[in-house]
Amino acid sequence: AQSVTQLDSHVSVSEGTPVLLRCNYSSSYSPSLFWYVQHPNKGLQLLLKYTSAATLVKGINGFEAEFKKSETSFHLTKPSAHMSDAAEYFCVVSDRGGSNYKLTFGKGTLLTVNP
C-alpha cells in the first residue's frame, strides 16, 4: 500500500523568502512522486515529477524537489516566493507495480505568501 504524509497543513512565508513544503511517502514498489498545485476554484496543475531518473527534479515556476530514498522524503522548495505562488500544494505517490497508475494524494499544504 502507498501513502503520503504532508507534514504541514499550512505554511506562511513572506514574498521573496524561500519556500519549503515537506512530504514523506510510503510505497511498496519503486515509486513515482509528484507535486501538484491547485489555485482557488481551479483544477490541479502538475509542478514536477520524479520517476527514477535524477533525484533532484526541476519543475515549473522555479520549483524543485529532491527525492531522498533513505529518508523517504520528497520535499518541495523554491528559493524566492512570489505572490502568485499562494495556493494549495499536493504531494502525490504512484506505485509502479504493474501498469495501473493509481495516484494517492496527501492532504495538502496551503501556502500563504505575505507582501
Partner 1 sequence: DAGVTQSPTHLIKTRGQQVTLRCSPKSGHDTVSWYQQALGQGPQFIFQYYEEEERQRGNFPDRFSGHQFPNYSSELNVNALLLGDSALYLCASSLEGTGGETQYFGPGTRLLVL
Residues making contact with partner 1 (CB under 8 A): 32, 34, 36, 42-46, 49, 51, 90, 94, 96, 99-108
Q: How far is the CB of 88 from partner 1 (least distance, A)?
A: 9
Distance CA 94, CA 34 (A): 8
16 or 69: whose CB is closer to partner 1?
69
Q: How far is the CB of 64 from partner 1 (least distance, A)?
A: 17
What the block records as the C-alpha cell of 59 is: 519543475
15 or 64: whose CB is closer to partner 1?
64
Q: How far is the CB of 105 from partner 1 (least distance, A)?
A: 3
Long-range contacts of 57-62 (CB under 8 A, 24+ apart): 59/35, 61/85
From 57, 60, 54, select the one nearest 23 (Cα to Cα). Answer: 57
